[in-house]
């Protein structure tokens, strides 16, 4: 018996229907219903859908039944990972990526004085105040602010503060963060541990600048909650060190150059023996070089999630020449890299699966702007070009050349960023916004890459996306929208 079979049995019993009558009236196989109730057999998803419709289940009952069905089919660990990744992707949409943030550089100030003579601090409020004062002083009063930390993300106050300071300084703080990852996260207790670490890193990765640098090492031991450890965590600035207890309620402040140097030496040695979690780039040339290197190291891109469908297969050298703005710096070099990058795409024997949002495609059709081609670099596409790209896209989907799915907005919200998956070997996160900020973060960590690959592989068989026929109809509707725009442009303007 499984939780799914138990739940199904309970729902059928509550309906008051006998299995024979239920099978006959719902036109379903009686033996399959019986074996599903006893846990001897896991039916098809279509069978469960038909059965749940006939039982007239409430929305809550349906969600629970289908969740239990998924768990029975793929296992608790994989189910929890896929669920967490979906939620993580949807949370990206709320990550603040606008360089003109609510703080602004001028808003940064030191809210309190630091008593360097009082070296021991106890109590959560007092320790929080100390950390706020020390970090604000470092960012405001040091021309080259530096913050090195070994504190776990469980200390949410520290990372909320650090993120606000990072935003306020437009990413111009040198932050190095050493973090632990689990060696074997594939157990139910720790199935999402490494993914949770990534979710804490993402706000920094999608912000302006590339000053935040996380490094990781593998360990099965979690020092949090180990009361035998005295002061296992520390924060280093240019002039101070703060040692922290495991519960973050006791701190020792040092303002001694020798002690700072000793801590920094230990930290630097730890960095040497750790691995960068993300490789971040914030200019166009470096990004393109990084993409080309990733393709060489990891192989072809297997999945792409973007606000709009991936049209790169239809970009010609002439089209890029026409749309790349003349005034941008290093234009010829960028144009050459773009040509090399997109020509490499055309050599793929199998195109990556593309997942896009209907809202994003609507924006492209009405503006000619593609999210991963920011307007500070690229001239928007004309209505005729938009229609041409949609026509090529539809033909390739219809002919089975290109696997493309529109996300179901009631089930899956796609953020304004791009995620590229390189098989099980790596992934790249790309974002841009209207003020000219662009960012690309390459992630190579094995367990994270494998979890994301598994999630994207599962998407076509889920309810997160529309199927191929529905996606084609959606594209047809936007092609008609282009026709309407062309007709409106051709109408003579009234005097």
> What's the mean pLDDT in 346-371?
89
Residue 23's pLDDT is what?
85
Q: What is the pLDDT of residues 413-422, one digit of tens each?
A: 988 888 999 9
pLDDT at res. 183: 80
Top-confidence residue, 280 or 457: 457
Q: 371 versus 303: which is more confidently predicted?
A: 303
Q: How far apart are CA 135 and CA 55, in angstroms?
A: 59
Residue 24's pLDDT band (cuts 50, 70, 90)? confident
Q: How confident is the model at residue 99 (pLDDT cuts 50, 70, 90)?
A: very low
As a whole number, mean pLDDT of residues 400-410 equals 95
Work out the average pLDDT over 242-257: 94
Please report the pLDDT score of residue 476 as a whole number: 97
pLDDT tens digits for range 66-75: 888 888 888 8
Instruction: Give the tens place of pLDDT for each residue, 149-200.
Output: 999 999 999 999 999 999 889 888 999 999 999 887 656 567 799 999 999 9
pLDDT at 100: 41
Checking if the pLDDT of 106 tops 50, the result is no
**Which of 56-60, 164-168, 250-254 has the weakest average pLDDT?**
56-60
410, pLDDT greater than 80:
yes
Q: Is the pLDDT of residue 345 over 80?
A: no
Q: Predicted confidence band at 328 (pLDDT cuts at 50, 70, 90)?
A: confident
- What's the CA gap between 142 and 237, in Å, rounded? 10
102 has a pLDDT exceeding 60? no
What's the average model confidence in pLDDT over 201-208?
84
Record the tokens describing residue 291, joined without a space. Answer: 């993409």
Is it the case that residue 390 has pLDDT exceeding 90?
yes
**What pLDDT is stored for residue 111 in this prediction?**
65
Give the DSSP H/E element, type plus range, for residue 176.
Answer: strand 174-181
Strand order in the sheet with 279-281: 279-281, 438-443, 426-432, 418-422, 303-306, 353-356, 404-406
pTM score of the predicted model: 0.86
pLDDT for 213: 95
The answer to whether 419 touches 429, Cβ cutoff 8 Å, is: yes
Residue 47: is its pLDDT beyond 50?
Answer: yes
- Mean pLDDT, rounded, of the chain: 87
CA distances from 58 to 5, 44, 215 (A): 18, 21, 47
Statement: residue 103 has pLDDT above 70 = no
pLDDT computed for residue 307 by the predictor: 92
pLDDT band of 435, cuts 50, 70, 90: low
User: What is the model's pLDDT at position 445?
Assistant: 94
Letter string b/e over residues 458-486, b meaning 16 or more CB atoms within 10 A of that residue's CB: bbeebebbbebeebbebbeebbebbeebe
- Return the pLDDT at 491: 55
| pLDDT for the residue numbered 58 | 87
Given a cut of 90, whether residue 384 has pLDDT beyond it is yes
Six token digits for residue 233: 């965590």
* Beta strands 353-356; 404-406: pairing state: parallel
Q: Which residues of 379-406 are buried (b: 16+ CB within 10 A; e: fewer)?
A: eebebebbbbbbeebbebbeeeebbbbb
- pLDDT score of 262: 96
Q: What is d(CA 201, CA 441) in angstroms, rounded to the nearest whole number?
A: 11
Chain-centre distance of CA 450, in angstroms?
Answer: 14
pLDDT band at 105 (very low <50, low <70, confident <90, very high): very low
What pLDDT is recorded for position 104? 41
* Mean pLDDT computed over 210-239: 83
For residues 154 and 151, give the distance between their C-alpha atoms in angstroms, rounded to a whole number: 8
Percent of the chain whose predicted confidence (pLDDT) is above 90: 50
> pLDDT at residue 128 above 50?
yes
pLDDT for position 200: 94
Q: How much is the pLDDT for 436?
A: 61
Whether residue 295 is predicted with pLDDT greater than 70 in this model: the reply is: yes
């Amino acid at each position: 018996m499984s939780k799914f079979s138990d739940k199904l049995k309970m729902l059928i019993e509550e309906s008051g229907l006998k299995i024979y009558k239920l099978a006959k009236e719902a036109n379903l196989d009686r033996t399959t219903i019986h074996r599903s109730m006893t846990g001897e057999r896991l039916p098809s998803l279509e069978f469960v859908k038909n059965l749940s419709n006939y039982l007239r289940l409430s929305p809550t009952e349906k969600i629970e039944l289908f969740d239990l069905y998924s768990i029975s089919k793929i296992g608790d660990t994989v189910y929890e990972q896929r669920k967490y990744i979906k939620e993580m992707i949807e949370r990206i949409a709320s990550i603040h990526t606008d360089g003109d943030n609510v703080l602004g550089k001028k808003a940064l100030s030191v809210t309190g004085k630091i008593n360097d003579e009082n070296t021991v601090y106890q109590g959560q409020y007092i320790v929080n105040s100390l950390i706020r004062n020390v970090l604000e002083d470092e960012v405001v009063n040091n021309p080259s602010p530096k913050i090195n930390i070994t504190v776990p993300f469980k200390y949410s106050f520290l990372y909320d503060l650090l993120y606000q300071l990072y935003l306020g300084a437009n990413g111009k703080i040198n932050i190095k963060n050493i973090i632990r990852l689990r060696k074997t996260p594939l157990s139910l207790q720790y199935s999402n541990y490494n993914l949770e670490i990534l979710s804490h890193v993402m706000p920094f990765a999608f912000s302006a600048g590339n000053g935040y640098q996380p490094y990781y090492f593998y360990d099965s031991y979690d020092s949090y909650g180990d009361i035998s450890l005295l002061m296992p965590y520390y924060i280093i600035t240019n002039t101070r060190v703060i040692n922290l207890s495991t519960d973050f309620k006791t701190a020792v402040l040092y303002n001694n150059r020798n002690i700072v140097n000793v801590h920094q030496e230990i930290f630097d040695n730890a960095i040497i023996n750790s691995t960068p979690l993300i490789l971040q780039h914030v200019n166009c040339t470096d990004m393109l070089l990084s993409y080309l290197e990733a393709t060489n190291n990891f192989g072809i891109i297997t999945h792409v999630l973007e606000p709009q469908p991936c049209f790169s297969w239809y970009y010609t050298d002439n089209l890029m020449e026409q749309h790349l703005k003349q005034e941008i710096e290093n234009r010829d070099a960028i144009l050459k890299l773009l040509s090399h990058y997109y020509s490499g795409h055309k050599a793929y024997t199998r195109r990556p699966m593309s997942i896009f949002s209907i809202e994003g495609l609507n924006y492209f059709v009405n503006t000619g702007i593609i999210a991963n081609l920011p307007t500070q670099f690229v001239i928007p596409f004309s209505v005729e070009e938009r229609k041409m790209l949609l026509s090529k896209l539809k033909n390739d989907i219809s002919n089975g050349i290109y696997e493309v799915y529109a996300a179901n907005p009631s089930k899956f919200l796609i953020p304004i960023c791009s995620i590229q998956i390189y098989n099980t070997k790596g992934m790249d996160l790309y974002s841009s916004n209207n003020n000219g900020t662009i960012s690309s973060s390459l992630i190579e960590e094995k367990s994270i890459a494998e979890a994301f690959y598994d999630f994207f592989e599962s998407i076509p068989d889920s309810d997160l996306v529309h199927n191929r026929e529905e996606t084609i109809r959606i594209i047809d509707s936007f092609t008609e929208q282009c026709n309407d725009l062309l007709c409106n442009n051709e109408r003579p303007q009234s005097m």
